[in-house]
Chains A and B, each alone.
Chain A
């Protein structure tokens, strides 16, 4: 099921603790905004003191990210980061106290580390975990030597290292406080800018400009609000042609002109678009006007009001787009089509530069843009991208939160994402997450090449389009699953019928008369049905060996149950081998009851099974051994039962069934490759 906030009662989430710790660590590192920042004296002092006091050539403040460890401060070590494979500190992430490794060449965790086996040949390591107030270990303060130290650190050295680690955390907290204050200030200014812009929109929507045209001269007298709406410098009069020239070519038929004013044929109420000369923005204008005629009935003046209705038009456009997208989404047949419809609706209605869908594969390190819509001159992002492209954004989105950014340059938490956005020409963005079983499965995105203050309505519009798209995608996926299921059921059905047909043929073929045939046929079909019940009852279509042994032998005759001693470990069986095993046990029981040990009151059967493992593979082995019955004579001809038994286990690999007519009782041995015996 898909959905952005899918949380059903009864859902159980198993947190992988490693992953959980990693996520907590990355979140904390992000929060401190420490990675890839320049050197700072506060941290440099700490490694200097640590190295002096512990008398080691190297000391580092190391933060462990995903693929690397990065050093905020370092003494005696050149690189400012190393791949995670070279990190000894990574082993300290689960520590709550010092990790001391006296000889790195002797410790299995580190003896193959290339910093140990190659230059600089490090030998001794002691690290104190850097623990946030929430208890998350984000890295270490460590000291490193190039000779082993069998006795580790002295007690005072240990104390100092712990204390200095706490100092590192103090420094981090201080930095965070300072940057929070800065960020708040910055956010405040963004808010202010955004609200100014929104205020202007509101004023434009509500503000009414007035005008009056002298028809003979074509001179317009206008109000200051009129000038503002049309983006003209303040003036009391303009030639009417100035305003007319601002109207977009495609809307030229709407406004009045000299001729329509003279004849009085100009429309009383029109809507048209202009390009505002002051900022180049395209705006929708509504104009209403009336004519004043002179005594001879000629039009003397036209006067009226103008209003900027851009926001209202956009809202209508969005509602229309939403309805239309909803209709079209209902008819799509594939996920790709759904994404195309959604991208077009989003991009078109929001007047965006680009809109599309980013799909995440939880197993892969890559993300993919399946389809997108782009404005003229904007490059498409369709194709594969690395997941590391937008770490900060994806982390927020994974929490199910829609993100909107008006200007990527001014939002601090974006961190390294900023470069990725910039490199794809994105200045403003809306990202709506799509969660699947609480994992981020995709992101519906809207991009703008210029900064843009997204309004609440625009963000809501994106969310609504996303909701509709998500429900369509989940419907399509459910349909695909159902189709697979139907096909699978069809195959099973056909297989079942083929088996029944085979049983019928065999029972009829070998029986001496119809009554006998009917009896053995009924019994065999019954066994098949019984085995089927067991499989259906079992989890994911499987059952266990002891269930089969118990049910099939019991089915045969409950009085003889005590004479059948069955023993073996709990082993699951796939559905096809389970059916075969049931039939074989049934035939063995039938033969035993007719001719073998169960045909006398004192005979018995021992059934034992086990798994035998060697270096190559594991095998399932089951033995059936009769004893206490009449002396055994090998049958002269092979009956249908025996042939059924020897036919073996369906669906298994390297299987064998042997029947030996030993004088003291029939012995049957069944063997099969365990993996195929258990496979579904």
Chain B
């Protein structure tokens, strides 16, 4: 499972860090972005990102839901996990194949979602 890279996107540094630690404990490599615009830049530079874990409500030109939509259109192989503490998103709000996790995010749920993706 070495060298599988996951991009964590959240504008709250502590929570982003926490998710990154969880993923590292699961054996993944992580990179971080604090908003959708930064995330898009990283995606363009690093084509080997296997999955994205993103928050919904963030500052910048796109929110996390729009980021997920864009990624699913442009980088179809990249798996998507969308998380929010404020709202529940359902299938129509998300690109197909994306998984929604309610915050605070339990490590177990993160692990099983990624396992389900096969990454």
Contact = CB atoms under 8 A, between A and B. Distances in A.
Q: Do A and B bind each other?
A: yes
Interface of A: 491, 494-495, 497-499, 501-503, 505-506, 509, 576, 580, 583, 643-644, 647-653, 655, 676
Contacts of B85: 491, 494-495, 498
A419 B14 CA distance: 65
B104 interface: yes
A583 B85 CA distance: 22
Interface residues on B, range: 10 to 19
B60 A502 contact: no
Interface stretch (B15-23, B42-50, B89-97, B108-116): B15-23
B21 to A, nearest CB: 6
Interface string B11-40: 111111110010000000000101100000
> Which one of B15, B34, B85, B103 has the greatest number of beta carbons of chain A within 10 Å?
B34
B17 A498 contact: no
B109 to A, nearest CB: 14
A650 B18 contact: no
Contacts of B21: 505-506, 509
Nearest to A579: B14
A506 B12 contact: no
A642 to B, nearest CB: 11
Contacts of A655: 34
Contacts of B11: 650-652
B12 A499 contact: yes
B59 interface: yes
A655 B16 CA distance: 15
B35 A644 contact: no
Nearest to B34: A648
B86 interface: yes
Contacts of A583: 14
Contacts of A580: 13-14
B74 to A, nearest CB: 23
Chain A at the B interface: SS class:
helix
Interface of B: 11-18, 21, 32, 34-35, 59-60, 85-86, 103-104
A503 B15 CA distance: 9
A502 B34 contact: no
Contacts of A495: 12, 85
A647 B103 CA distance: 19
Nearest to B32: A647
19 contacts: A491-B85, A494-B86, A498-B12, A498-B104, A499-B14, A501-B104, A502-B18, A503-B14, A506-B14, A506-B17, A506-B21, A644-B13, A644-B14, A648-B13, A649-B13, A650-B11, A650-B13, A651-B59, A653-B35
A525 to B, nearest CB: 12
Contacts of A501: 18, 104
A491 B56 CA distance: 14
B13 A647 contact: yes
B59 A498 contact: no
A650 B103 contact: no
A135 to B, nearest CB: 51
Given A498-B12, A498-B14, A651-B59, 16 more contacts: A495-B12, A498-B15, A498-B85, A499-B14, A499-B15, A501-B104, A506-B14, A506-B18, A506-B21, A509-B21, A647-B13, A647-B32, A650-B13, A652-B34, A653-B59, A655-B34
Given A498-B12, A651-B12, A643 B17 contact: yes
A648 B17 CA distance: 10
A647 B104 contact: no
B53 to A, nearest CB: 14
A646 to B, nearest CB: 9
